[in-house]
Structure 1
Amino acid sequence: MERRRRKISLRELSSRMPEGLRLSHATLSEIERGDRRVTVDDLTVIACALGISPVTLLMPVHSPDIGDNRPVAELTGTPELPVRRLCDWVRGDAPPTETEDAHEIEAYRRQNLPRWLWDADASASDGAIGEGHGRRGEGNDG
């Protein structure tokens, strides 16, 4: 859906992927048809090639243009949840259970996010991530 919305062919999407991680246009077609399961590596390389967050690919498609106002959705292994709560859970920002308790939400974030992201809201305003916080294996906790 995202690929078509951006008017990118399967061959173009494949060519945007780094050598060694490149998925063929045939493999991408199988993924889109649901004939092939997607690994985490596939997910991240496809998202990067599309220039979007992996969360965009994980979340159910929302198409208001065809009357899809889906107030609830589910992912494999989750119960049906309000779409906003499901997205917050996928991002690690809140538990999938219904709560407005700020302490409970913050406790969940601290349990599920790397330590350097705990104060992400404070550092986001100045664009700083913090010292030694690169990709996995480059000094982060997660």
Structure 2
Amino acid sequence: MADEKKNPLGPVGEQVRRNTARLREARGLTKKDLSDRVTEMGRAVPPLGVSRIEAGARRVDADDLVALAVALNVSPLTLLLPDAWDDESVWLADRKRVQSRTAWLWGQGLAPAEDMPAAVEDESAETVQQRGRDYYKTEEEFRALALPTERRRAAEHPANREAQDLAEMVSRLVQVAGVSVGGESPSVRRALRAARLRLRKLDAELEQIEITADDLDRLSQPDQ
């Protein structure tokens, strides 16, 4: 425990500690079960080591993290981030926090670790615009390197962008509808209209892909 005091866990280490225990119990695994699974992958973590991880007395390095995630049959993100998708803040470092939703999108390579700029009371239009420009510059830099090359090309396709935006809108709609009686809230109706519009735009992009695919198929056919 002396080592823990000299080098205490940061906020992400605390998430890993809590999530390891939560997921192990959810899987119905004993500490020995988890130890055996991790050890089979070449990471020697005895049952006492699992206990120390869950108690915050043993730090988890990158290799341990991946082995634990595989052993628990989850993504490393599931260990690193909270079990939440909302506007509540999550700490990514001692001086860096974002909404849990933003943290998950960042971890999936879909958005930078920056919350979308929100309106601030009495803020000038010029300041709002500048913050928006700053955010989108950060987003462009993130998208340039966050994913493997081929995945990045696919992610940049308009259809994929529309699909991502639609998924985010549906996620927010489900949250809003869950607290609205009968789905009659004006905000629910507005969200539904926006989602349907986004869906139509996605359908148009998919039609364009289909047309392009048909054209390429015809070009590849030998002359009859």
How far off is 1:42 after superposition? Answer: 0.3
More helix as a share of residues: 2
Q: Does 1:37 align with 2:59?
A: yes
Alpha-carbon distance in 2 for matches of 1:32, 1:7:
15
Q: After TM superposition, list the pairs within 5 Å mapping 1:44-59 onto structure 2.
A: 44-59=66-81
SS in 1 for 2:93: coil
Decide which structure has the larger Cα Rg and report it: 2
- Matched residue, 2:50: 28
Matched AA of 1:108: F
Query: Which structure 1 residue ranges, 5 or more long, are not aligned?
Result: 63-68, 125-142
- Matched residue, 1:96: 113
Alpha-carbon distance in 1 for matches of 2:62, 2:75:
13
Deviation larger for 93-102 or 33-42: 93-102
Matched AA of 2:61: T
Alpha-carbon distance in 1 for matches of 2:31, 2:89:
30
- Matched residue, 1:66: none
CA RMSD of superposed structures (Å): 2.7
Relative to structure 1, the CA distance from residue 110 to residue 119 in structure 2 (aligned partners, 3 Å threshold; closer, same or farther) is same
Alpha-carbon distance in 2 for matches of 1:78, 1:45:
28
SS in 2 for 1:2: helix
Across the two proteins, how many residue pairs are aligned to each other?
A: 117
Matched AA of 1:25: P
Relative to structure 1, the CA distance from residue 35 to residue 70 in structure 2 (aligned partners, 3 Å threshold; closer, same or farther) is farther
How far off is 1:46 after superposition? Answer: 0.3
Relative to structure 1, the CA distance from residue 95 to residue 19 in structure 2 (aligned partners, 3 Å threshold; closer, same or farther) is closer
Relative contact order, higher structure (CA 8 A, sep 6+): 2
Alpha-carbon distance in 2 for matches of 1:80, 1:57:
17
Relative to structure 1, the CA distance from residue 19 to residue 81 in structure 2 (aligned partners, 3 Å threshold; closer, same or farther) is closer
